[in-house]
Amino acid sequence: MADIIQRQETVPQTLSGARFDQAASDLFPEFSRSRLQTWIKSGELTLNGTSARSRDKVLVDDELVLKATLKAEGNWQAEDIPLNIVFEDEHILVINKPAGLVVHPGAGNPAGTLLNALLNHNPDQETIPRAGIVHRLDRETTGLMVVAKTLSAHSNLVEQLQARDVHREYDAVVLGNMTGGGRVEEPIGRHPRQRTKMAVLQHGGKEAITHYRIAKKFTDHTHIRCFLETGRTHQIRVHMAHIRYPLIGDPLYAGRPRIPKGASETLINTLRSFPRQALHARKLELEHPINRDTLSWEVPLPEDMKTLLAILAEEDKR
């Protein structure tokens, strides 16, 4: 039996004047832009009760109504890629993602992704939007992700994320000695010139809020815990760089490795060779989408970050 999805959203002031497909992408973030455009063309996604074109403009309080049959979204192939499964039932799957695993196929990464692994693990997920993926981690970020296995679970998890009811906590190691925790509330959008980067934008960015506190201070570095209210692309990396505490190993936002004066050879080599941003999704808490139980998971730091922290601790003993 085909899955039917029904959703309705009202255009807010912030999207007034946007293209129909752009507004739909913002209001139905669980679906890809190409899938939404297909539904617009077929008349399954309507504007104020009538068919419209993707390029048509929407106005505040316009109604977008989606009633569509879900089919396989892309020509994705199942691939036998191992998954580190932390929790699974018939509705959701929680994994501990390793570094180096891309979450979703895209330009430059057509295969070998978490999505391909999910289709191998459970082929029925091909009709669920993005094969059940409701949030992402950057390629080199490790840690916890939740994936929906059914359409009803998917809809509920998306609602929880939009309502900011999903608690996500990260470990990060940053350059510089922080004096205390804090809160960064700065809008984030695509960098105006370097399109592979995100940036804090005073105009046109989306709301982004990151809380952070100190887990351990070192002489020239700090181990912090970050808590997300929003989930923008590269959010922690952009916000920490913005307040001048970029993540160790971050190729996009930290620049060249900063070597503290008088650093040992071990620390110098470690900082220069650390292979990725020092960021790990350590804790995830949410309401089960079906039985409404509060569920929480934690996973330990990966070995590379454990080693990094151990070397920083040894350096402080010198």
The three state secondary structure string of the chain is CCEEEEEEEECCHHHCCCEHHHHHHHHCCCCCHHHHHHHHHHCCEEECCECCCCCCECCCCCEEEEEEEECCCCCCCCCCCCCCEEEECCCEEEEEECCCCCCCCECCECCCCHHHHHHHHCHHHHHCHHHHECCCCCCCCEEEEEEECCHHHHHHHHHHHHCCCCEEEEEEEEECCCCCCEEEECCEEECCCCCCCEEECCCCCECCEEEEEEEEECCCEEEEEEEECCCCCCHHHHHHHHCCCCECCCCCCCCCCCCCCCCCHHHHHHHHHCCCCCEEEEEEEEECCCCCCEEEEECCCCHHHHHHHHHHHHHHHC
Query: Rounded CA gap, 15 and 20, in Å?
Result: 10
Which CATH class name applies to 3-70? alpha beta
pTM beyond cutoff 0.75? yes
* The pLDDT value given to residue 106: 84
Q: pLDDT at position 2, please? A: 55
Report how far residue 149's alpha carbon sits from residue 123's, in angstroms, rounded to the nearest whole number: 10
**CATH topology agreement for domains 85-159 and 168-286+293-317:** yes
The class level of CATH for 168-286+293-317 reads alpha beta
10-residue stretch averages of pLDDT, the chain, 318 residues long: 80 95 90 87 97 97 93 85 97 98 90 97 90 95 97 88 94 97 97 92 93 97 97 96 98 92 95 96 97 97 98 92
Q: Which two tokens stand for residue 268?
A: 């110098």
Report the pLDDT value the prediction gives residue 34, as an integer from 0 to 100.
80
pLDDT in tens, 35-81: 899 999 999 999 999 999 999 999 999 999 999 987 776 788 999 99
CATH superfamily entry for domain 85-159: Pseudouridine synthase (3.30.2350.10)
Which pLDDT score is estimated for 1? 44
Q: Among residues 122, 66, 49, which one has the least CA distance to residue 92?
A: 122
Output the pLDDT for position 244: 97
CA distance 309 to 89: 35
The catalytic residue positions are: 138
Amino acid at 273: S
User: Could you tell me the two tokens for 307?
Assistant: 């080693």
β partners of residue 189:
199
Contact between residue 278 and residue 221 where contact means Cβ atoms under 8 Å apart: no
- Residue linked to tokens 């939404």: 36
What is the residue extent of each domain of the chain?
A: 3-70, 85-159, 168-286+293-317
